[in-house]
């Protein structure tokens, strides 16, 4: 680290260090908040903060089978995000990079709705359930294949790239899930530019 803008690797290291510390104390879990993790490498709140990257690293280490999301910020990324990680960490990071898409014909992207977890993490009462976006969930587990090339797509206008159906948070009284995947982009956050 050079004291410049924090990089993804800085967050990965800070999180790993935190895990090792908690493991030494023989805890069976550790609750980590995004702003606390960010504070460990400095600069939050500051002009160069990288909260989105910080949350991304937290999601990548999140294993739905053993961990639990305690707080989910409205936009999916934010200082208030908190995850309870089970300890010790034993190869908890799922390897999603093994399935290569056929070149040019289609490409694989991370599901925006579920942040690549393959679970319905948006709804705190349904975190263990598969992601409801069509083709994600049990089948693709956090990934989507889209036809064509990624350059042909741009951020979905309806959900502003969040993958979440706009207005689906308003129905809080409703029984069941509050958040739903965006119907225009199927939770991918991308629509074809034409």
Residues of this chain that bind Zn ion (CB under 5 A): 111, 113-114, 131, 133, 136, 156, 158-159, 182, 184-185
Q: Rounded to the nearest whole angstrom, what is the least distance from the CB of residue 146 to Zn ion in the complex?
A: 13
Q: Characterise 22 by phi-psi region: left (phi > 0), alpha (psi -120 to 50), beta (else).
A: alpha
Q: Rounded to the nearest whole angstrom, what is the least distance from the CB of residue 169 to Zn ion in the complex?
A: 15
Nearer to Zn ion, 37 or 131 (CB): 131
Nearer to Zn ion, 85 or 113 (CB): 113
How far is Cα 128 from Cα 77, in angstroms, rounded to an integer?
Answer: 20
Nearer to Zn ion, 44 or 179 (CB): 179
SS3 at position 181: strand
Task: Determine how β-strand 190-192 pairs with β-strand 82-86.
Answer: unpaired
Report CA-CA distances (Å) from 156 to 135, 148, 179: 18, 16, 17
Nearer to Zn ion, 57 or 136 (CB): 136
Q: Rounded to the nearest whole angstrom, what is the least distance from the CB of residue 126 to Zn ion in the complex?
A: 12
Report CA-CA distances (Å) from 51 to 34, 110, 161: 7, 19, 17
Q: Rounded to the nearest whole angstrom, what is the least distance from the CB of residue 159 to Zn ion in the complex?
A: 3
């Amino acid at each position: 680290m050079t004291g410049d803008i924090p990089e993804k690797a800085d967050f990965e290291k800070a999180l790993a260090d935190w895990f090792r510390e908690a493991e030494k104390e023989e805890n069976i879990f550790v609750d980590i908040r995004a702003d606390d993790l960010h504070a460990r490498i400095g600069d939050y709140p500051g002009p160069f903060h990288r909260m989105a990257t910080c949350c991304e690293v937290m999601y990548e280490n999140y294993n739905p089978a053993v961990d639990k999301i305690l707080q989910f910020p409205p936009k999916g990324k934010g200082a208030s995000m908190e995850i309870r990680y089970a300890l010790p960490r034993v190869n908890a990071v799922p390897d999603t990079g093994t399935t290569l898409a056929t070149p040019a014909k289609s490409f694989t992207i991370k599901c925006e709705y579920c942040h690549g977890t393959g679970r319905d993490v948006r709804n705190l009462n349904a975190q263990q359930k598969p992601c409801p976006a069509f083709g994600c969930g049990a089948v693709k587990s956090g990934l989507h294949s889209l036809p064509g090339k990624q350059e042909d797509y741009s951020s979905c206008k309806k959900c502003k790239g969040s993958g979440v159906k706009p207005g689906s948070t308003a129905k809080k009284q409703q029984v069941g899930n509050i958040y739903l995947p965006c119907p225009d982009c199927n939770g991918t956050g991308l629509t074809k530019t034409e």
